[in-house]
């Protein structure tokens, strides 16, 4: 398992070394060093905030391309429900899926079907009363990564179900084997993704022993290729491909999953900073009366994902209209598919100052001392996200006090003062000698 593989990466040539990503990163995973941003891999949760805010498009999500389809004999597009909201001129799921087939896929599979199956299982678990309250949805991969590094006490609250993407991939492969007569390994299953964190999850095999997804292709790269064909597809070529019901499709927007869960007391939180705030409160013992929490890292939910093409508000509106025309009918999944995680999320205490608590305390006191001397304006010019973070970086050995431009100015000014003093002293000396000589 490649523990620290990340989808979110930096294009150094495009990076101007500004502080936009630095200030927005929810886990303080970015530093600017020598004029270029740097992602601290162990802290990054692949939420994609930096991709969203970078004005120079230097932050990117590494994912797969359609080229990869050549590696398999039969290819299935695993379609995230957010994909349905990406096209300005059509809201027909059948049209959208039919046009997608033309890009070289042999079949399509709606992840919304997987979302329906997860919804039913979640309902069952909520009714059993065995979940720790408030139960937290496991759907958003960036949120799971956030919990793993920042909220160890909430790991037990997560409903340990595989993601709709993962179980859909398993079902898609089973169905493809039946249709094609090929071996499972000859079938390529590609997730058409609104988000970077999904790519990280697939490549890192998080919560599963081995992901059933063979590749992750960004929605926006598919949209470019489909932008014309989706409007020109002949009526006779539109196939009836949609099977998923409303309770799954609505997962694309924030609040959708919560609504589908049927739970009485639910909270639906979206946008990573809002998620952090709510989780802090849950950790403090608040919201113990809440049954279920839907937490999505992107603003507006998956339609707001960094790899989507359409404005998230417009996409949301389209998804809502699509859902109005749908019932809750669902196709069953194969009974052999395991719904629960193969592996649990493990706490990674990456914020720890030291493994020895005594040493950690000494470091912490040093941090406080250094921090007190800083201007506390969090300007970011030093390359750390805040004055406090710079103090930590200094104690961890990554930075120097003079990285702070105010501290540097103080030092320069003190130095200048010393030089003047020295100069004064020198001017004085010959005169003294003269006097002594007389």
Partner 1 sequence: MAELMKLHYEVNGDDFTRAGETSSKVKKTLNQLGFNPEVVRKVAIAMYEGEINMVIHADGGEIDVAIAPEKITVVMKDVGPGIPDLDMAMTEGFSTADHSVRELGFGAGMGLPNMKKYSDGLNIETELGKGTTVTLEFNA
The C-alpha atoms of residue 189 and residue 212 are separated, in whole angstroms, by 7
Burial class (CB in 10 A: 0-12, 13-18, 19+), 3: exposed
Q: Which is nearer to partner 1, 36 or 388 (CB)?
A: 388
Binding window for partner 1 (CB under 8 A); candidates: 97-105, 123-131, 281-289, 290-298: 281-289
Q: Which is nearer to partner 1, 43 or 60 (CB)?
A: 43
- 397 touching partner 1, by CB under 8 A: no
The C-alpha atoms of residue 38 and residue 41 are separated, in whole angstroms, by 9
For residues 182-205, one letter each, b for 16 or more C-beta atoms within 10 angstroms of the residue's C-beta and e for the rest, the string is eeeeebbbbbbbbbbbbbbbbbbe
Q: Which is nearer to partner 1, 361 or 419 (CB)?
A: 361
Residue 104: count of CB within 10 angstroms of its CB: 13
- 56 touching partner 1, by CB under 8 A: no
* Residue of 1, 132, 224, 351 that binds partner 1 (CB under 8 A): 351
* Residue of 283, 291, 401, 410 that binds partner 1 (CB under 8 A): 283
- Chain positions 355 to 394 lying near partner 1, rule: CB under 8 A, are 355, 357-358, 360-362, 364-365
Do the bridges between strand 215-218 and strand 187-193 make them parallel or antiparallel, or are there none, so unpaired? parallel
* Residue of 2, 130, 284, 436 that binds partner 1 (CB under 8 A): 284
Where are any strands of DSSP class E within 367-426? none
Burial class (CB in 10 A: 0-12, 13-18, 19+), 234: exposed
Where are any strands of DSSP class E within 99-227? 107-110, 135-136, 187-193, 215-218
Q: Identify whether the C-beta of residue 290 lies closer than 8 Å to the C-beta of residue 264.
A: no
* Residue of 35, 325, 332, 349 that binds partner 1 (CB under 8 A): 349
| Nearest-approach distance from CB 90 to partner 1, in angstroms | 45
Q: Which is nearer to partner 1, 158 or 233 (CB)?
A: 158
Q: Identify whether the C-beta of residue 27 lies closer than 8 Å to the C-beta of residue 8.
A: no
Total number of residues binding partner 1 (CB under 8 A)? Answer: 22
Q: Identify whether the C-beta of residue 215 lies closer than 8 Å to the C-beta of residue 222.
A: no
| Nearest-approach distance from CB 61 to partner 1, in angstroms | 29
Q: Which is nearer to partner 1, 398 or 406 (CB)?
A: 398
* Residue of 231, 314, 352, 413 that binds partner 1 (CB under 8 A): 352
Sole residue written with tokens 């003062």: 417
| Nearest-approach distance from CB 277 to partner 1, in angstroms | 10
Q: Which two tokens stand for residue 236?
A: 């006779």
- 281 touching partner 1, by CB under 8 A: yes
* Residue of 238, 326, 339, 353 that binds partner 1 (CB under 8 A): 353
Where are any strands of DSSP class E within 222-320? 266-270, 292-296
- Chain positions 118 to 177 lying near partner 1, rule: CB under 8 A, are 152-153
| Nearest-approach distance from CB 160 to partner 1, in angstroms | 18
Q: Which is nearer to partner 1, 185 or 281 (CB)?
A: 281
Binding window for partner 1 (CB under 8 A); candidates: 165-173, 184-192, 216-224, 276-284: 276-284
Binding window for partner 1 (CB under 8 A); candidates: 68-76, 187-195, 238-246, 350-358: 350-358
> Taking the CA atoms of the chain, what radius of gyration do you get in angstroms?
27
| Nearest-approach distance from CB 1 to partner 1, in angstroms | 23
The C-alpha atoms of residue 61 and residue 323 are separated, in whole angstroms, by 30
Q: Which is nearer to partner 1, 358 or 432 (CB)?
A: 358
Q: 190 - beta bridge partners?
A: 77, 215
Binding window for partner 1 (CB under 8 A); candidates: 95-103, 352-360, 410-418, 429-437: 352-360
Question: Torsion angle, CA of 236/90/75/78, rounded to 10 degrees?
Answer: -140
Binding window for partner 1 (CB under 8 A); candidates: 42-50, 198-206, 229-237, 349-357: 349-357
Crossing angle between the packed helical segments 196-204 and 141-150, to the nearest 10 degrees? 70
The C-alpha atoms of residue 79 and residue 84 are separated, in whole angstroms, by 9
Residues of the shown chain interacting with partner 1 in the complex, contacts defined by CB under 8 A: 152-153, 280-281, 283-286, 347, 349, 351-355, 357-358, 360-362, 364-365
């Amino acid at each position: 398992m490649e523990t620290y593989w990340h989808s979110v990466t930096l294009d150094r040539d495009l990076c101007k070394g500004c502080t936009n990503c630095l200030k927005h990163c929810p886990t303080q995973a970015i530093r600017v060093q020598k004029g270029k941003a740097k992602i601290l891999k162990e802290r990054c949760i692949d939420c994609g905030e930096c991709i969203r805010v970078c004005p120079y498009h230097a932050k990117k999500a590494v994912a797969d391309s359609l080229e990869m389809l050549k590696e398999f004999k039969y290819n299935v597009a695993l379609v995230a429900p957010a994909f349905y909201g990406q096209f300005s001129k059509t809201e027909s799921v059948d049209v959208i899926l039919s046009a997608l087939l033309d890009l070289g896929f042999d079949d399509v599979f709606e992840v919304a079907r997987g979302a329906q199956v997860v919804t039913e299982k979640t309902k069952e678990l909520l009714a059993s009363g065995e979940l720790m309250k408030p139960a937290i949805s496991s759907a958003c991969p960036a949120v799971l990564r956030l919990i793993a590094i920042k909220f160890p006490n909430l790991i037990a609250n997560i409903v340990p179900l595989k993601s709709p993407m993962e179980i859909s991939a398993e079902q898609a492969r089973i169905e493809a084997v039946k249709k094609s007569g090929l071996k499972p390994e000859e079938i390529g299953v590609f997730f058409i993704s609104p988000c970077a964190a999904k790519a990280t999850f697939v490549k890192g095999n998080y919560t599963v022993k081995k992901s059933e997804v063979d590749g992750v292709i960004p929605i926006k790269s598919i949209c470019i290729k489909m932008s014309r064909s989706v409007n020109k597809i002949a009526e006779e070529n539109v196939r009836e491909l949609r099977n998923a019901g409303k309770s799954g499709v609505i997962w694309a927007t924030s609040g959708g999953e919560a609504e589908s869960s049927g739970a009485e007391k639910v909270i639906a939180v979206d946008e990573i900073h809002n998620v952090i705030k709510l989780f802090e409160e849950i950790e403090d013992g608040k919201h113990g009366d809440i049954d279920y929490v839907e937490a999505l890292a992107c603003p507006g939910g998956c339609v707001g994902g960094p790899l989507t093409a359409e404005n998230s508000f417009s996409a949301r509106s389209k998804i809502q209209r699509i859902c109005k025309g749908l019932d809750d009918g669902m196709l069953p999944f194969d009974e052999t598919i395991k719904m629960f995680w193969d592996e649990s999320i493990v706490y990674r205490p990456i914020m720890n100052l030291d493994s020895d608590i005594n040493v950690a305390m000494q470091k912490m006191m040093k941090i406080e001392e250094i921090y007190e001397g800083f201007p506390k304006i969090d300007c970011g010019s030093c390359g750390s996200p805040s004055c406090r973070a710079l103090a930590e970086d200094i104690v961890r050995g990554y930075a120097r006090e003079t990285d702070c431009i105010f501290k540097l100015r103080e030092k320069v000014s003190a130095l200048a003062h010393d030089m003047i003093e020295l100069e004064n002293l020198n001017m004085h000396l010959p005169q003294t000698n003269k006097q002594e000589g007389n």
